[in-house]
Amino acid sequence: MSAIRIENLSKIYRAAWGRRDTFAVKALSLEVKQGEVFGLLGPNGAGKTSTIHLLLNLIRPTTGAAFLFDRPVTETEVHRRLGYLPESVNLHTYYKGRALLNFYAALCGVPVSQRESRISAVLKLLELEDAADKQVAKYSKGMAQRIGVAQALLHDPDLLILDEPTASLDPVARHQFRGLLLELKGRGKTILISSHILSEVEAVCHRVAILESGALKRVGTLQELSAGGSTRLVVKETSGTLMEALAATAAEVTWFQGQVTIRCQDETVRRSVEALLREHKVEIARVESEAQSLDEIFFSTIKGDPAT
Amino acid sequence: MKTILLIAADGVRALIHQRLLVGLMLASLAVTVAFSVFLSNARTHASVSLSGDRVASGAPQSNEPMSESDQRRLREQTQGMSSMFQAAFYVVTSFGGSMVALFIFSTAVAAEIRSGTIRLTLSKPVSRTQFLLGKYLGGAAIMVAYALIASLAIFVFSKSQGLDLSPAIKWAPWLMFCQQLMLGSLALLLSLFVHPIIACVLAFFAGNGFYSPPNPLYFILPSYSDFGMFSEVLQGAQVDWKDVVFLSLYAFDFVAIMLLLSMWRFRTKELL
């Protein structure tokens, strides 16, 4: 059973008066397995939050369908297994922290007998015990974010949907949150996390999907995504004519202590270099794959430059 | 049902923290108190003027009992003052209540959408129908409290002034409550289409006071005016309980239709 299944999902915002329609999500198909930590990446306007809103049935798809635990997202009961943290945590400010959590626990159907212990546990986990009896209106942004996380964890859900969870947290709280995510990952929870902080996603996610302009560009594990990246071919014998021929390709050639390292940026370059080596009857001593960081994968996928 | 009650209780909690609502209620109460003080002074003035008339007509000023005609005049004047006082009280509380109802119901769902708090609530196992009904119920609970306070206030003020209650006044708070529920249900529906302020204005002026049968608009638009008890209270007229039952049924039918339309609209509303 998959925790999240998205089938050919599209969301188009129709514009009036002859203006162009906005495609928030374009024919998106995805599957997140149970127990998987899945990262949703993309620049602003890529469709991450729209996808999450579609999963929560806050907006209606133009085409396609979404399922949580193989049940349509329109079924309210499936939300018993779901914890959600929105991008900007807007809370009912007229409650005190503990009372707010009590309200959400009651809505989630946490039995009265267990409510107090659950609330105390999440308050302790998120280091909010001192703020529990404080009016939510007086919470700092970071505290509001933490109480937002607390309400998402309150009923011990099987699936967590976190939209930019660390956006308002300071570096210390961000580090603690990463620890919490790893703990939840260890407990087999399914987590869908949308984030701009690539290092965070890289550290916790099993798989990632990269969205751009509402469309899915790439999906897979980091290893899968980095396959097809740069490769280094190491040769020990060389000649002047081979060096000249290599210099004419797009490969980067370095010579050090009688060993030539040829860096091929992609498969096409690698194939042409291998053909040259065969032509000159030079044996390849070693092939090294250069693992790409998520940053490199991300920027190469969205065809952007970190500097821009 | 438990979920609806939880949302309703949350709605009540939210409303009692609304400064504008509390301000409206206090203003309504202040105007009512001002009216009662004004009418109390007017009544004293009427008694003094009656005594003055008696002196002018040569009647003795001692403790001698009033003549039968003087007693009748004083009774008539007092009764007139009493009816006027109660009618004025009714108008102020009814108008104030309408304003409170418009504010409560037009913002009940719209404010949650605008602030984004609805996203967290609907991420829990809460259906949109439960949310909407809970919000309406919370608003209705505030209106019940308002009607009860108004009833109690009119009783206490009348008794403290030694005035008899007009026969129509006993039904007035109930009918006022029914009218406010109608007004509120229409404001709630309209707030799912337009800005709450526009919803308030449209709901307030949507009554069919401008139309009469056989104009079809008479049957479509709400009949707020039929719930008004001003002239009955002022004239001390009796109100037939059958009319009250009929009006109550009409109000609940109207509210049910408005809520069904609201649910239909809310089920497909994009909660951005």
* Model confidence pLDDT, tens digit, residues B174-194: 988 999 999 999 999 999 999
Asked if residues A290 and A252 have their Cβ atoms less than 8 Å apart, the reply is no
Q: Where are the alpha helices (DSSP H) in B57-127?
A: 68-108, 110-115, 117-122
pLDDT higher for B239 or A95?
A95
Q: In B, what residues contact A, Cβ < 8 A?
A: 3, 6, 10, 13-14, 17, 115-117, 119-127, 130, 268, 270-272
Q: State residue B59's pLDDT score.
A: 55
Min Cα–Cα distance to chain B from A209, Å: 23
* Chain B residue whose CA is closest to A84: B123
User: What average pLDDT is seen over chain A?
Assistant: 86
DSSP letter (8 states) at residue A135? B
Residue B61 has pLDDT above 60, yes or no: no
Q: Residue A265: count other Cβ atoms within 10 Å of its Cβ.
A: 14
Q: Which of B115, B108, B127, B122 is nearest to B185 (CA)?
A: B108
Q: Say whether B121 and A60 touch across the interface (CB within 8 A).
A: no
Of A83, A90, A106, the CB nearest to B116: A90
As a whole number of angstroms, the distance between CA A253 and CA A251 comes to 6
pLDDT given for residue B55 in this prediction: 60
Q: Looking at chain B, which residue has its C-alpha nearest residue A58?
A: B271
Check if the beta carbon of residue B263 is closer than 8 Å to that of residue B128. Answer: yes
CB within 8 Å: B270 and A104: no
pLDDT band at A152 (very low <50, low <70, confident <90, very high): very high
Site from B114, B115, B123 to mutate, A interface, most A CB atoms within 10 angstroms: B123
Dist CA B169 CA B171 (whole Å): 5
- Nearest Cα to A102, choosing from A85, A121, A118, A79? A118
Give B119's pLDDT tier (boundaries 50, 70, 90). very high
The first and second tokens of residue B17, run together, are 């923290």
User: B49 vs chain A: nearest CA distance in angstroms?
Assistant: 54
pLDDT band of residue B43 (cuts 50, 70, 90) is low
How many residues can be counted in chain B?
Answer: 272
What is the complex's ipTM, to 2 decimals? 0.79
Element housing A72 (H / E): strand A71-72
B208 pLDDT band (50/70/90 cuts)? low
pLDDT, tens digit, for every residue of B136-173? 999 999 999 888 888 887 777 777 766 777 777 788 88
pTM metric for this prediction: 0.81
Contacts of B272 in chain A (CB under 8 A): 53, 58-59
pLDDT at B63 over 70: no
Quick one: average pLDDT of B102-118? 91
pLDDT confidence band for B53 (50 / 70 / 90): low
Helix (H) or strand (E) holding A56, with range, is none
Q: What is the CB neighbour count within 10 angstroms for residue B241?
A: 9
Residue A285 binned pLDDT confidence (cut-offs 50, 70, 90): confident
Token digits for B169? Answer: 């006044």
Q: Is B171 strand, coil or helix?
A: coil
Element (H, E) at A46: none
User: For A106-120, B95-109, B216-230, which range has the lowest pLDDT when averaged over its residues?
Assistant: B216-230
pLDDT at B196 > cutoff 70: yes
Among A8-22, A256-270, B209-223, the minimum mean pLDDT is found in B209-223
Q: Whole-angstrom Cα distance, residue A291 to residue B210?
A: 77
Q: Which residue of A has its CA nearest to B17?
A: A94
Asked if A84 lies within 8 A of B120 by C-beta distance, the reply is yes
Q: Closest residue of A to B128, CA-based?
A: A76
Residues B115, A76: C-beta atoms closer than 8 Å: no
Pick the more confident residue, A99 or A16: A99
Token digits for A38?
Answer: 């899945």
Confidence of residue A305 (pLDDT cuts 50, 70, 90): very low
3-class DSSP state of B82: helix
Model confidence at A307, pLDDT cuts 50, 70, 90, reads very low
Lowest-pLDDT choice from A45-59, A120-134, A142-156, B224-238: B224-238
Cβ separation A106–B271 shorter than 8 A:
no
pLDDT over 70 at B20, yes or no: yes
Is residue B39 over pLDDT 70? no
* Centroid of chain to Cα A291: 19
Q: Mean pLDDT over all residues of chain B?
A: 82
> Which residues in chain B have their CB less than 8 angstroms from residue A80's CB?
125
φ, ψ of residue B45 to 5 degrees: the values are: -60, -40
Question: Where is pLDDT greater, at A170 or B8?
Answer: B8
Query: Pick from A60, A107, A108: which is nearest to B268 by CB?
Result: A60
pLDDT for residue B42: 66
Q: A49 to chain B nearest CA, in Å?
A: 10
The structure tokens 């037009």 sit at B106
Of A288 and A71, the structure prediction assigns the larger pLDDT to A71
**pLDDT for position A246:** 86
Q: Do the beta carbons of residue B247 and residue B178 sit within 8 Å?
A: yes
What would the pLDDT profile of A3-60 be if each residue is shown by its tens digit? 999 999 999 988 777 778 888 898 999 999 999 999 999 888 888 999 999 999 999 9
Per-residue pLDDT, averaged over A118-142, amounts to 89
Q: Do A84 and B119 touch (CB under 8 A)?
A: yes
Asked whether residue B38 carries a pLDDT value surpassing 80, the answer given is: no
Residue with the larger pLDDT of the pair B33 and A278? A278
CA distance to partner chain A, nearest, from residue B71 (Å): 57
